Structures are given as C-alpha cells and as structure tokens.
Amino acid sequence: MPSIIKKLPANIHGKDYVIGDLHGCLDLLERLLQKVNFNAQHDRLFSVGDLIDRGPYPLSCLQLLHKPWFFAVKGNHEAMLLDCITEYLPTNTLPNTTDFEDSDFIYNGGEWIYKWINIENQFIATELKDALSAVFKLPLIYIVGTGESRFHVIHAELTKPNPFNHDEMVWLDSDIDQWYAENSITTEVEQRLLWSRSLMRFDAAGDYPAKVQKGLSTTFCGHSITKTPKQFLSHVCLDTGAFMSMNGNTDFGLSLYDVKESQCLSTAYHQEEISVTNLFIEKIN
Ligand SMILES: [Mn+2]
C-alpha cells in the first residue's frame, strides 16, 4: 500500500520549485529549468500532478518520476490512467479493448498511450511499464518542511464537503497531520484532492475568500486553469494552462514557482521569452 501522504524536510542545501499541471509539455518545463539554472544535485522540483495527456510528451513527463529531484502528487489524469489499467498492475493483464476505449482516461486525452501498448497482443512497452509502477506510488499530498517554512503540494483542493462559510471551507495542518499519522483519508477527501473546484471557482462568482487561512500552511495546487496564479485560503493555484498555448493563445502557459524568491516564471508555446513576476504568499501564524 503506497503512502497517501509523504513528508520531506526543508531543503537546506538548495532551492525548491513547484510546477503547475505539465500535461506533456516537457519542452516548456526544460526552458523554465534552464532559466533558473536548476541544480539537480541540490534543488527539488515539486509537481502538482497531471503530468500526462493533452501535450506533446506525456510519457517523458511520467519518466520524470524516476529522477531523484522530482516529487509529484497524483493528479486526476493519473488517477484516470490507474483506474483504467488497475487490472494490469497485479495480474499483468490489460483490460479488454472495449472497456479501454470507453474509459474516462481515453476520453480525456489518453490516446497517446496507444503508442506504447497493444491491447489485443497484451503488449506494454517497458518504458510505460516502468513509469506506471512510479505512478502507482504517487501520494496525494506532500508535506514539506515544518513550522514557518512548511508548505503542501496537492493536485486540486483541500476543501471540505458542505462548507458553512469561507472559514470552514478548508482542512487545516492538524487534519493533514492526523491523516499522515493514520496513512488514511476518506474517499470524499481523496476525490476533492483530485477533482474539487469549489474554491477556485470563486474567480467567476466574485465573492472572494481571503488569500490566507489561519492554521493551513501554503498549499500549492493546480487542476483549475487560470491565466495567472490564484490564491484563496492558503491555496496557490499554479495551473496556467500550458497545453492551451499550443494553438497560439499566449494568455496561457506553464508556470514555475520559486519558493525561496517568491517568484513565478511562465512561458508558453509560440513565445520565446519567459516572464518573471513576484508572487508573494502571505502567512498568518
Ligand atoms: Mn490538469
């Protein structure tokens, strides 16, 4: 049983970065890492999940999971992939063709996988097999550091069901610590960690919750595409729609957050330059 929540100490030797939903856009990531002179010996790169589907290099993005400096949580796209090949993992048997073609995974951009498997022949390429074993082990939450330097990485949101008001809308560090101790969360929390948009949809509603929630450390997330990163109740959403810039819409792009410098770097397809903006994250103690 893989860990649902993983914990890492603060990085005292190098810098920590967080990347938004990659969705196969490895070339954009490489551009950003080059810009920050990413040091594979000392720096760490955290991913909010959704490595696959939509963009040009889905398998290469999954293969980042083999790098010692790369730490990703499971996104809803990885969850859909696992759902459709669950049978494969314990038995080495791929699902039947019809089930596979009708799966949520294939409907949501998973066609790339046909390059690496052949269901009729029960063939699965070694590269994909190796990547899948890493996907299977992905946690839902990373807790990094302690005290003031603590932050979390998740895919979607730490929201509660039926919140009474903004203040009661999110889970707190104390809840996460308890889940960690028990290595257990409810199915409802898991679904919200992977799929929830109840917090990020305030963009449209206008009734904005505060940026920071007392008792919840900064929680980097993705999942809901936004042109610039959004901050609600300690959540910082970094999904700026990397793959959406493939058709030339440079309002969207891939965003990388430099935790130490409080800076966000973004780049897009059809756009050579990299924008650097200050993104200061408030904290309440
Ligand atoms: Mn996504």
Q: CB of 163 within 8 A of CB of 155?
A: no
Provide the b/e sequence for 115-127 (b: ≥16 CB within 10 Å).
Answer: ebbebeeeebeee
Rounded to the nearest integer, the mean pLDDT of the chain is: 93
pLDDT tens readout for residues 106-147: 999 999 999 999 888 888 899 999 999 999 999 999 999 999
pLDDT given at position 168: 84
| Distance from Cα 121 to the centre of ligand 1, integer Å | 31
Query: Ligand 1 centroid vs 21 CA: distance in angstroms?
Result: 5
pLDDT digits (tens, 9 = 90+) for 2-19: 789 999 999 999 999 999
Domains of the chain and any CATH numbers: 5-75+138-278 (3.60.21.10)
pLDDT-based confidence at 98, cuts 50/70/90?
Answer: confident
The region that residue 243 occupies, defined by phi over 0 for left and psi between -120 and 50 for alpha, beta otherwise, is: alpha
pLDDT at position 119: 85
Q: Could you give the CA distance from residue 21 to residue 57 in angstroms, rounded to a whole number?
A: 13
Q: How far is the CA of 241 from the centre of ligand 1 (A)?
A: 8
The 10s digit of each residue's pLDDT in 140-194 is: 999 999 999 999 999 999 999 888 888 789 999 999 999 999 999 999 999 999 9
Which pLDDT score, from 0 to 100, does residue 84 have?
Answer: 86
* Alpha-carbon gap, residue 24 to 17, rounded angstroms: 18
Burial grade of 47 (CB within 10 A; 0-12, 13-18, 19 or more): buried
Confidence (pLDDT) at 285: 61
User: Is 23 known to be catalytic?
Assistant: no
Catalytic residue among 23, 42, 77, 235: 77
Ligand 1 centroid–CA 54 distance in Å is 9
Question: In this predicted structure, what is the pLDDT of residue 203?
Answer: 64
